[in-house]
C-alpha cells in the first residue's frame, strides 16, 4: 500500500468515454485520482474503475510491457499505459484516449480485427526451406543469423505503430508497420523458404509502397522493433523483385 504521506497528491485524468449503446459520439470525463510516484497511467485508470466508475472499459493484463494489451493515446502520443507514469504528467492533467486510427468499440477499447486479419494474411510461420524431422534435431542457426530477424520477432502486437502511422490513418487497408515487420522476420529467418509467397502481398495494393517514411512508427515502438526499417528493406526488395521478374523465371525472390 502507498504511504499516507505520498497519497496526498491528486492528478486529474481526462478519459475519452464512448458507449455505443447510449452515446452518439465520444466525450471526455475528468476524474481525480490520488497517486504515488510509482503509479503507472494504467494503475490510475484501474483506480477509476475500482473506486470511481465501474463502467470504464479498457484492456490490460501483464502490467510489464510484454502482453501488448494496454496501448492508449496519452496526451496525444501512443504509449503502453503500464509503463507510462503519472508522475511525468503531474501537476498537469493527463488525457487518455483510445488508440488513433482504429474504430472505438467502447471507451479505451479499439476494434483490432483488421490488424489480426493483416497478421494472419502474411503467413506468419516458418515455411521450411529444407524440411526436417524431429528425429533429425534442431536446425543450426548462428547468433549472426538469429540477429538478422530477432529484433523483428520482438513485436508484441500492441499496435502503437498503427496509431502513429499517418498512412494507415488515411488507408486502413495498408498492411502497416507491425505486420510488415513480422513478414520480414520470417523472410529473413535462415530456416524459412516462404519469401516468394509472402512478397506478393508486399508488392500488392496494400503493400509497403504506401509508406512515406515518416518513421514515427519506430519512434513509438516500445520494443525497439523498428518497423520502419522492415518496411523500407521490403520496399527495396519489392522494387528489386519488380525488375527482376522480367528477367528471372522465379520472380527474383530467393
Which residues contribute to the site for other proteins (CB under 8 A)?
Answer: 2-3, 6, 19-22, 38, 49-51, 53-55, 57-69, 83, 105-107, 109, 111-112, 116, 119-120, 123-126, 128, 132, 134, 137-143, 145-146, 149-150, 153-154, 156-157, 182, 186, 189, 191-192
Give the three cell numbers for residue 103: 474504430
Q: How far is the CB of 136 from other proteins (least distance, A)?
A: 9
Cis-peptide, bond into residue 142, ω within 30° of zero:
no
Residue 254 CA to residue 247 CA, distance in Å, equals 14
Structural contact between residues 50 and 68, judged by C-beta atoms closer than 8 angstroms: no
Burial status of residue 75 (CB atoms within 10 A of its CB: 0-12, 13-18, 19 or more) = middle
CB 67 → other proteins: shortest distance, Å? Answer: 5
Rank residues 105 and 219 by Cβ distance to other proteins and give the closer one.
105
Q: List Cβ<8 Å contacts ≥24 apart for 204-207.
A: 205/173, 206/173, 206/174, 206/175, 207/175, 207/234, 207/238
- Report the residue number, 69 or 218, with the smaller CB distance to other proteins: 69
Residue 239 beta carbon to other proteins: minimum distance, rounded to whole angstroms: 27
Helix (H, G, I), strand (E, B) or coil at 51: helix
Helix axes 113-121, 177-187, angle to 10 degrees: 20
Minimum Å distance from CB 143 to other proteins?
Answer: 5
- 8 A C-beta contact, residue 182 and residue 158: no
Cα 126 to Cα 112, 179, 226, distances in angstroms: 24, 15, 21
User: Smallest distance from the beta carbon of 169 to other proteins, in angstroms?
Assistant: 22
Q: Give whichever of 138 and 247 is closer to other proteins, judged by the CB atom.
A: 138
Shortest spacing between CB 220 and other proteins, in angstroms: 15
Identity of the residue, 14 or 83, whose beta carbon is nearer to other proteins in the bound complex: 83
In angstroms, give the least distance from the CB of 189 to other proteins: 6
* Of residues 223, 174, 190, the one with CA closest to residue 67: 223
How big is the chain, counted in residues? 254
Closer residue to other proteins in complex, CB, 7/10? 7
Amino acid at each position: 500500500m502507498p504511504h499516507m504521506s505520498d497519497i496526498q497528491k491528486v492528478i486529474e485524468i481526462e478519459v475519452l468515454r464512448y458507449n455505443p449503446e447510449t452515446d452518439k459520439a465520444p466525450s471526455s470525463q475528468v476524474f481525480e485520482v490520488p497517486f504515488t510516484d510509482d503509479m503507472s497511467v494504467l494503475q490510475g485508470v484501474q483506480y477509476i474503475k475500482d473506486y470511481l466508475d465501474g463502467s470504464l472499459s479498457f484492456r490490460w493484463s501483464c502490467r510489464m510491457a510484454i502482453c501488448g494489451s494496454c496501448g492508449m493515446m496519452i496526451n496525444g502520443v501512443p504509449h503502453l499505459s503500464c509503463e507510462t507514469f503519472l508522475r511525468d504528467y503531474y501537476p498537469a492533467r493527463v488525457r487518455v484516449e483510445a488508440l488513433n486510427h482504429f474504430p472505438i468499440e467502447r471507451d479505451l477499447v479499439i476494434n483490432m480485427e483488421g490488424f489480426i486479419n493483416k497478421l494472419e494474411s502474411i503467413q506468419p510461420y516458418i515455411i521450411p526451406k529444407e524440411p526436417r524431422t524431429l528425429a533429425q534435431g534442431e536446425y543450426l542457426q548462428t547468433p549472426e543469423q538469429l540477429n538478422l530477424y530477432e529484433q523483428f520477432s520482438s513485436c508484441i502486437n500492441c499496435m502503437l505503430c498503427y496509431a502513429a502511422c499517418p498512412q494507415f490513418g488515411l488507408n486502413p487497408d495498408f498492411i502497416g508497420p507491425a505486420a510488415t515487420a513480422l513478414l520480414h522476420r520470417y523472410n529473413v529467418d535462415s530456416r524459412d523458404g516462404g519469401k516468394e509467397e509472402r512478397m506478393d502481398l508486399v508488392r500488392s495494393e496494400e503493400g509497403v509502397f504506401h509508406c512515406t517514411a515518416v518513421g514515427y512508427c519506430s519512434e513509438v515502438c516500445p520494443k525497439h522493433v523498428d518497423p520502419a526499417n522492415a518496411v523500407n528493406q521490403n520496399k527495396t526488395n519489392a522494387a528489386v523483385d519488380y525488375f527482376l521478374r522480367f528477367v528471372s523465371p522465379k520472380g527474383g525472390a530467393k
